[in-house]
Homo-oligomer: A and B are copies of this chain.
Amino acid sequence: MPQRPGYHHGDLANALIAAATQLARDGGPEAVVLREVARIVGVSATAAYRHFTRHSDLMHAVKQGAQDDLVSAMRAELAMTAAVPDPSAEALRQLRALGHGYLRFALAEPGLFRTAFAQTNKSGEHEAPGQSTATMAGSAGYQLLAETLDELVAVGMLDPGRRRYAEIVTCSWARGLAMLLLDGPLSAFPAELRDQVIFHGLDHIRHYLTGDTRPAPAPSPVARSAQLTRWPRSSATIR
């Protein structure tokens, strides 16, 4: 990103998005105020209108980024542990990783998490019925879950007859737990306890899907608690 040589910025659109993302990260979607964004970048508020026809368009871009970040967090959690040879165990590992990634991102980046699911009306869209912008987890995340669930069926752990509503139930659980952890009564819990709730919740989901009532293999490694603080985000460098 250039050093702002003078009158022309060079990459104002991205700079605005980055600043807006930082605001969303700190204060949620309501904190994304166009004038403040311009202020941060060091540009007049009017300049933003060269790159976004209105506030909600900027908002939309931030939301997209937040959704991408969520999916990245899920992918990162997938990559954090090694794949195991046994297909059944591998499918379970993936399921757990996706859930952990989702919920840990929610805890680490509550502002971005809320932004990812915020209601935005982009320019052309008129409440667009039937084509909701608020996809499950940015669509890509939903796809990851769907694949893992398919794998669970293929491996024989998930009854095909119970496949149909599996992602809705799983998504509902994860989304609701995130709300309880962020805004609800569970928000008062200390970080460790919240991690435990997530861990046990995920184990319940596993049990629900597979019918396997045996307890979870091991408690959540403490080493990962460090990750609960802040999620590193490559695209959010300002200026």
Q: Which residues of A approach B to under 8 Å, CB–CB?
A: 117, 119, 129-132, 134-136, 159, 162, 164-165, 168-169, 171-180, 183-188, 197, 200-201, 204-205, 207-208, 211, 213
A185 and B136 contact, CB distance less than 8 A = yes
**Residues on B with beta carbons closer than 8 Å to the beta carbon of A119:** 183
Q: 23 interchain pairs (CB within 8 A)?
A: A117-B184, A134-B183, A136-B184, A162-B204, A162-B207, A165-B201, A168-B177, A168-B197, A169-B173, A169-B201, A169-B205, A171-B176, A172-B175, A172-B176, A172-B180, A172-B201, A173-B173, A174-B176, A176-B178, A176-B179, A179-B179, A204-B208, A211-B211
Which of A132, A135, A159 has the largest number of chain B CB atoms within 10 A? A132
Q: Is the interface of A mostly helix, strand, loop or mixed?
A: helix
**Residues on B with beta carbons closer than 8 Å to the beta carbon of A136:** 180, 184-185
A130 to B183, CA, bound (A): 12
Residue of B nearest to A179 (CB): B175
A29 to B168, CA, bound (A): 27
